Amino acid sequence: MKKVQIVQEEGAVIEQPVLARAIMDISAAMKELLRSGLNRRAIICLMHGNTVGLGKHDIEVVLDSLESLADDYTSRRAKGGTK
């Protein structure tokens, strides 16, 4: 997977294609984590043990959101399709 590093000066604008690519990369990384061999329950337990005061339900909601970011917030054109 290609790693992207964004360095931004205070007040500088991040271009839309960079944001779209970052969103798609986050979603892809979440999907890859879920295929890593650990099941969803194990991932939730690990994250729960590594956070202070964050409930398992909240972690589940965040995982769901990370996985669906690209579908929810990028166009097919940004994903390489047509729209």
Could you tell me the residue range of the domain that residue 64 belongs to? 16-73
Computed over every residue of the chain, the mean pLDDT equals 82
Q: Is 47 helix (H, G, I), strand (E, B) or coil?
A: helix
Q: Give a yes or no: residue 32 inside a domain.
A: yes
Q: Give a yes or no: residue 11 inside a domain.
A: no
Structure tokens at 55: 């409930």
What pLDDT is stored for residue 55 in this prediction?
93
Q: Give a yes or no: residue 62 inside a domain.
A: yes
How far is residue 38's CA from residue 34's CA, in Å, rounded to a whole number?
A: 7
Q: Give a yes or no: residue 82 inside a domain.
A: no
Question: Looking at the predicted structure, is the pLDDT value of residue 11 above 80?
Answer: no
Question: Looking at the predicted structure, is the pLDDT value of residue 80 above 80?
Answer: no
pLDDT, tens digit, for every residue of 13-52?
767 788 888 888 988 888 898 889 989 999 999 999 998 8
Q: Give a yes or no: residue 79 inside a domain.
A: no
pTM: 0.63
Count of the separate structural domains present in the chain: 1
Half-sphere exposure of 2 (CA within 13 A, CB side): 5
